Amino acid sequence: MASSDIVAKLWQRLQNVAKPSKLAGLMTVTSPSSPPPAPRLPAPRPEASGTPKSLIVGTYERLRADIIAGRYAPGSRLRVEHLKTDYDVGAGTLREALGLLVSDALVLNRDQRGFWVADMSLDDFRDITETRVLLETSALRQSIAARDDDWEGDLSSAFHRLSRAEERLDNSQPATVLVNDWEECNRRFHHVLLARCPSHWTLHFLSILYRQAERYRRVALMHRPIGRDVHAEHRAVFEAAIAGKADEAADVTATHIRTTYAALVAYAKEHRITQLVPDSA
């Protein structure tokens, strides 16, 4: 696929308007939409009351964590008058925080009529998955080609931390603190893998896709299929990358990313789920 086609596909995805989506007898939900999000938090607009930016960002982070954890179900309305009490902040601060979540495509602002949690669907996750495979395998090849001693050291450290987090998960029932720890270690591992990729635009789009996939990863992590060994998948990626085997590393990375999607499809079919909802751990 030509680079111009890739950029056009990504731009269409980021500007897509929400449309009804039917999943072949499995579920009927709508795909989330929003203005193009940025890889870093947009600077909050100063409020007339002079609310500190740190308070807005802190509220944003708490709300985001609760949406990812499933406290607010996909498609549910977020009422400012109720959230004010829950988060002990003013209405202006909440609207600013919700605006940041709109930029993340986790919240929708429907014609200025209020805020809703973005829906989840397998169609949407498949789109995220395949676009991520397309970009991440290319970025990984470029990163491995430009590897150096510092990169190898950072990658070894990131893999070690991820291994410890996965060991803790395997030895207990998933709980919020363990899942959050694993998510951060997983993010760091994939970030370091791609750190030597010279394309800032590729990394920009990948950061968006990674964040978009977070709610889906949460569902997959809380309902781990019997027989899947995520740690073995990460080890295969690590060993190929550290050995400089770019094609092998790209292949196992693509399989690793797609396996999460396949696990969610199997879980939804097995349990006749009509809507994907993250479980609160």
Name the residue among 233, 227, 224, 228 with its Cα closest to residue 174: 224
pLDDT at 276: 61
pLDDT at 90: 93
Would you say residue 231 has pLDDT above 50? Answer: yes
Query: pLDDT tens digit string along 16-53?
Result: 433 333 323 333 333 334 444 444 444 444 443 455 77
If one counts every other C-beta atom within 10 angstroms of the C-beta of residue 7, the result is: 13
pLDDT at 21: 34
DSSP letter for 171, please: T
Would you say residue 113 has pLDDT above 90? Answer: no
- Half-sphere exposure in the Cβ direction for 180 (13 Å, CA): 12
**Is the CB of residue 172 less than 8 Å from the CB of residue 223?**
no
159's torsion region: left (phi>0), alpha (psi -120 to 50) or beta?
alpha
Query: pLDDT tens digit string along 269-278?
Result: 876 665 665 5
Query: pLDDT tens digit string along 232-268?
Result: 999 999 999 999 999 999 999 999 999 999 988 888 8
Would you say residue 167 has pLDDT above 50? Answer: yes
Question: pLDDT band for position 225 (50/70/90)?
Answer: low
Mean pLDDT of 181-206: 96
Question: Which residue would you say has higher pLDDT here, 219 or 145?
Answer: 145
| Fold held by 34-117 | Arc Repressor Mutant, subunit A (1.10.10)
Residues of the chain with pLDDT > 70, as a percent, come to 75
Mean pLDDT of 86-92: 93
pLDDT at 32: 38
> Which span out of 206-210, 215-219, 255-259 was modeled with the highest average pLDDT?
255-259
Task: Name the residue ranges covered by the structural domains of the chain.
Answer: 34-117, 122-270
Between 8-17, 39-48, 104-113, the lowest mean confidence (pLDDT) is in: 39-48
pLDDT at 180: 86
Domains 34-117 and 122-270 in one fold:
no
Mean pLDDT of 63-76: 89
Question: Is CATH 3.40.640.10 the right assignment for the domain spanning 122-270?
Answer: no
pLDDT at 89: 94
